[in-house]
Chain A
């Protein structure tokens, strides 16, 4: 289909914080929605539909939290659907919102990503984190993998150790991702974890699940991020002067049983357990739609899903920024630094800005839109080609992956 059919015309978000106990999930959604609607210059009454990106009912302490948000936002009478695909919830919700507009079902759609997390509380240990991790761990297969002790970090650590074995990737190379993203967060007023770190700081931080140390892992976060999407005719009608167009979307899900991924199956040309096979496939589809053949040369900026530092190295390869196995060298050479050839995650990414699951992917797409519009403040990167990429992933062994290309 023609490009420049659907545009992002409004961006809003709350600050990302470890815990925001003074607001409930629907109030967080309200704050970010109000900001996004103001940014677009429209009222909620002009919206045709809403898409909700909310990962985990156990975080929100509520099954079907979307219906309560829709009520609170005064969006009764309109269509509303929820997307939940683990860490990829925000990116996949964007895909659904795009489809809502591109199909002609809606002229204006609100995309609302929101998440609580730290109301979970472990009454035995008197702290939140183990209970937050349990809420997420229930996403592991409950028969075969949860009872073994699988949880989010171990699931991605098993991809990392396979990558280390196959390509010689090192813990020190992954530490560079942590240093970069925590450092980028200093220039993002919405970010949770600005930190000045050295390789030694990361290497010496406590082991979580080998090879991930504490500073290799993003923290759990609460917050909301909202975008307003419009079709081409409505952009004209509202005289929007700075639309950011959706140029391509590609999504691909690999086998949720990571141990079933083999070079002999239908995604086998991308590799095995060591390779983010569905990320390669999602990128291929998105680049084809956007008409991009050399992403390293044709993109100005990328936001990658660095829930864990190693995953960003693996994603450099899957996004085609470098060669297979070249992820570690890519950051050693400084390409992904904020002043590098292809800045990655100027927002701070998940490590620096925080991981408010349903809101994360929406925040990162919003960051790419802000960068392309030249509205990223102190962390603004150089925009020459007018193309940016956002990557949103999640699920066991990263079974969900979606890639969004925006352009101006």
Chain B
């Protein structure tokens, strides 16, 4: 007798599972914290429970991939230049947003200048343990735009606008914006 669709499903569901979902691991961490501090959820006036939304990705950089590949493999910055209006994009764009013309890839200088800057002392959950850190809009000498990036302050509290900075690169790079930073000169 041919198998019914339910029977086929029953055979395959078990085989499809490779390991425990990562979400379950997070639940275990939260459950442990609740045992330590059960009063953290309110059950008298209203009823609260722990909850979460977790998403995982395998993200493609699309046409900007070339920037991240060059950054990872060669420790170099790259941007794009419009073939018609000569506008230099950094971060790079595969299309000119001003005139819709084609662009070509160019090398971007490590020398740059600070346009505006802030030093962060209180941040969101993902960066809560990393303060203080400084970030700034930084314009490389041969780009028409500025990029948001971290600045190593070298014991200063703040990077003044118009300060000169130089790009520095991590030894171990993974192809992300955190592979480089700027240092005050």
Contact = CB atoms under 8 A, between A and B. Distances in A.
Contacts of A143: 61, 64, 177
Interface string A65-88: 000000000000000000000000
B9 to A, nearest CB: 28
A134 B52 CA distance: 13
A144 B147 contact: yes
A130 to B, nearest CB: 4
Given A133-B123, A149-B135, A208-B122, A126 B116 contact: no
A372 B136 CA distance: 42
Contact of A137 (B51, B124, B135, B144): B124
Given A123-B29, A130-B123, A131-B125, A162 B37 contact: no
A149 B177 contact: no
Interface string A255-287: 001111010110000000110000000000000
B130 interface: yes
A151 interface: yes
Interface residues of B, number: 52
A203 interface: no
A306 B115 CA distance: 23
Contacts of B158: 210
Contacts of B184: none
A149 B123 contact: yes
A157 interface: yes
Contact of B124 (A126, A151, A159, A207): A151
* Residue of A125, A133, A157, A161 with highest tally of chain B CB at under 10 A: A161
Contacts of B148: 144-145, 148, 150, 158, 258-259
A260 B90 CA distance: 9
B5 to A, nearest CB: 30
A159 B116 CA distance: 7
A378 interface: no
Interface of A: 21-22, 58, 61, 121-126, 130-131, 133-134, 136-137, 143-145, 147-151, 153-154, 157-159, 161-162, 165, 206-211, 257-260, 262, 264-265, 273-274
Given A125-B125, A143-B61, A260-B146, 11 more contacts: A144-B177, A149-B130, A149-B133, A149-B135, A150-B135, A158-B136, A162-B115, A209-B118, A259-B138, A259-B148, A265-B98
